[in-house]
Amino acid sequence: MIDLVGESAKRLAVVGPGVHVEVAYYGEIREYVGRKRERREVPPPGTVQALVEDVAREAGFDESAVGRADLIVLVDGTNVRQLGGLDTRLSDGATVSLSGQPMAE
């Protein structure tokens, strides 16, 4: 007999919950989000893009516009352009700074 419930639990254990990061908002993004900082869980796959899309969705913007946004994103003080871009994987406890203009239609 195959234990499907046990197998599902094993897969969830491998994927795990999202990572938790500290997010600091600057510029116009802060105005739209309505806060200076917050601790956030980043949905899987735990990338900068997943975080920015989640923030955009919550603020009422179209998350598909993320690539067109005038954003500056720093992870622990380093611009993501010097890392892996929006595909940069975030680690638990990282500090992400978001600055710039929100995602326009």
Report the pLDDT value the prediction gives residue 62, as an integer from 0 to 100. 64
Label residue 22 by pLDDT band (50, 70, 90): very high
List, in order, residues 6 or more apart from 96 with CB less than 8 Å away: 21, 22, 23, 24, 48, 51, 73, 74, 75, 90
The tens digit of pLDDT for each residue in 24-63 reads 999 888 888 889 999 999 988 899 999 988 888 887 776 6
Q: Which token pair is 17?
A: 């919950």
Report the pLDDT value the prediction gives residue 35, as an integer from 0 to 100. 92
Place of tokens 């622990």: 76
Hey, what CATH class is 18-100 in? alpha beta
Q: Are 98 and 71 in contact (CB under 8 A)?
A: yes
Q: What is the mean pLDDT of the chain?
A: 78
- Measured between alpha carbons, how far is 34 from 29 in angstroms, rounded to an integer? 8
Domain ranges of the chain: 18-100
